[in-house]
Chains A and B, each alone.
Chain A
Amino acid sequence: EVQLVESGGDLVQPGGSLRLSCEGSGFTFGAYGMSWVRQAPGKGLEWVSTLSGSGGGIHYSDSVQGRFIISRDNSKNTLYLEMNSLRVDDTAVYYCAKSPVVVGAPYFEYWGQGTLVTVSS
């Protein structure tokens, strides 16, 4: 059974930093692209970033480009999202999601339960 478990969400001040983690199990982690998708309170879904299985093929949304860094450690079955220069509008539940293929993220096949990031002073 595929499982994705996010952690690291917290309350942080504007301008601060945070690192999210997502541990995968039940599949060969390094063989699939992985993504972060977020959902602001009461709002819809917004794709944030995608990283291919090999560690190349990185994509970011314009809203986080230059502030967030996606990475992965396949030996630990873990995906990361380093979030810098956080803004109030980054407040959201952050989901990690598994792609059905190694490169890119055509679709988000499996999702974790999410971790809440709150940016507020």
Chain B
Amino acid sequence: EIVLTQSPATLSLSPGEGATLSCRASQNIYIHLAWYQQRPGQAPRLLIYDATNRATGVPARVSGSGSGTDFTLTIDSLEPEDFAVYYCQQRNSWPRTFGPGTKLEMK
């Protein structure tokens, strides 16, 4: 089973600042990584797939990068609606696994 590790666990930032979230895989997963956003009380929402591709409706200030074992989600100029929990997920093999999440909170 591929284990995903996310850092930091919590990130405290102010609106207008930029955020960098990391996800590390326990083995090479090429570009087979997605990112999801989950706001309180809501279902997760797909943001990025195959490491760098934005899903439908995701703003351009959200971007993904990385390959192999190290991946990054970057959010430029944080808006109030960006404060949420972010999960990474791998599709390289079964079982599909998620990282433990990074909580992006407002400072």
Contact = CB atoms under 8 A, between A and B. Distances in A.
Contacts of B100: 44
Interface stretch (B10-18, B19-27, B44-52, B66-74): B44-52
Contact of A109 (B38, B46, B87, B97): B46
B95 A61 contact: yes
B46 A107 contact: yes
B44 A108 contact: yes
Contact of B101 (A44, A107, A111): A44
Contacts of A109: 46, 55
B97 to A, nearest CB: 7
A113 interface: yes
B75 interface: no
Given A44-B100, A44-B101, A108-B46, A59 B34 contact: no
Interface stretch (A21-29, A45-53, A84-92): A45-53
B54 interface: no
Contacts of B45: 111
A112 interface: yes
Contacts of A62: 95
Given A44-B87, A106-B49, A111 B95 contact: no
A107 B98 contact: no
Classify the secondary structure of B's interface with A. loop
A35 B89 CA distance: 14
Interface string A86-121: 000000000100001000011111111110000000
Contact of B94 (A45, A59, A108): A59
Contacts of B55: 109
Given A47-B96, A95-B44, A111-B45, 19 more contacts: A37-B44, A44-B98, A44-B99, A45-B87, A45-B101, A47-B89, A47-B97, A59-B95, A62-B95, A105-B91, A105-B96, A106-B49, A107-B49, A108-B36, A108-B44, A110-B46, A111-B43, A111-B44, A113-B43
Interface of B: 32, 34, 36, 38, 42-46, 49, 55, 87, 89, 91, 94-101
